Structure 1
Amino acid sequence: MLRAARSLLPLALLPALLAACGTEEVVVGDREPVAPLPDRAELYARAEALGLAPGLIHVTESPGFTLARQSVGVYGDDGFSAAYRSHENSAQLLLLVDRGTMTAADCPEEPVGRGTGEVVHCERDGETWYRTSAGRHEYAVPEDGHLLRISAAETAVDRGALRAAALHAHRPTDAELAFLLPPRHRDIPPLRGVPVERGDLPPAGDGAPREPVGASG
């Protein structure tokens, strides 16, 4: 996640906030929950409920960019996809993680980002690959059993910033994972803890809605 985008509450205020909120979750800024945090098993269950392999989930950091939480989703069979957006303009970083690796032979065959069909140019850069195609560029980082890629428009994000974002990518902490993943459906309580009432349901009988005499349609 982006530490540059985090706004921290003064530490002196945290005890008072915790006491005032009782058992409610306290959030520092817009990023990580202070308490309570689900355990790792619950976080993995949330990921799997979305179709994500927990081990493929990664986050990154880039100055001026913030994760767009609504962009988090599945890439391929059980890989991970997320976008980071600039605070100041429409620039976007696309993070994709999937199983596999990249070699000199298959580098030109893999599209840049979500592109298809365009010619891809590859350049070795240390342990990574720098790739360009149709106005977009990307850094691909082969890791143990998976391939991490970060791409952007060449005119929006320069190569140095793109490389730094790729090298800063890492598996999330529990707090980062809790921020990324929505609760499972069974964990979402009814509105204010009260079931929604249906005014057209009778208090007794089979529960079929009441219809006024002569109603039709």
Structure 2
Amino acid sequence: MTTIPVLPCIDLDETLAFYRLLGFVVTHQQTRPNVYAALHREGAHLHFAGVKGIDPKKAFSTCLMIVPEVEELHALFADALRGAYGKIPVAGVPRISRMRKGQSRFTVVDPSGNSVIVIRRDGEAKDATKPSSKPLSRLGRALEQAILLRDFKNDDVGAAKVLDVALSKSEPCAPIERARALAARTELALAAGDRALARSLRNELSRLELTRAERAAISEELSAADRLE
């Protein structure tokens, strides 16, 4: 038994060009009696049907693509999109969600607003975004909530709001926790195109009293922001 999702499509040529960038092969294409196309990539199949009147920014059609690994595939997709768009599209439509070491999934949103969620087959194992079992400060808990919003729900706006509220409080926390929250907020600012805010956040982070080991510990989080710049 085989199940293949049929996703709505606004512009067939634009949709096929987008998925060709990602390494999909078009196996069928027609405009009459109705707009329809079929694509596949290494066992993953996607079909598209022409639908008029779709607002890509309000689309909610989604499908899952289960794969053996995600980090190399994300890098391949991101490089292809950078080559076509001049930068990695991390906001708007189309876009690709950001990826961190150890993350088990990412999302590609195509020109019609369809979300293809790419998930590692053993995605529940050792997921870097799973909540910690250790007691955390209010800021630490806010950071975990922001990570879930950012990486699982692709809600950068919600993640930014959570961090803004937590960072505005003067409650005590370990410097490394504030550093991680500032690094995460810096990346969100850059994804939203707010370079002035990103510079301000980086300046605050640089003034924190951190050990060499602590600064090394947040290097991956900072490098995510560096990649966007």
Per the normalisation by structure 2, the TM-score is 0.29
The structure with the largest strand share of the pair is 1
The structure with the largest helix share of the pair is 2
Question: Which protein is bigger by CA-based radius of gyration?
Answer: 1
Per the normalisation by structure 1, the TM-score is 0.30
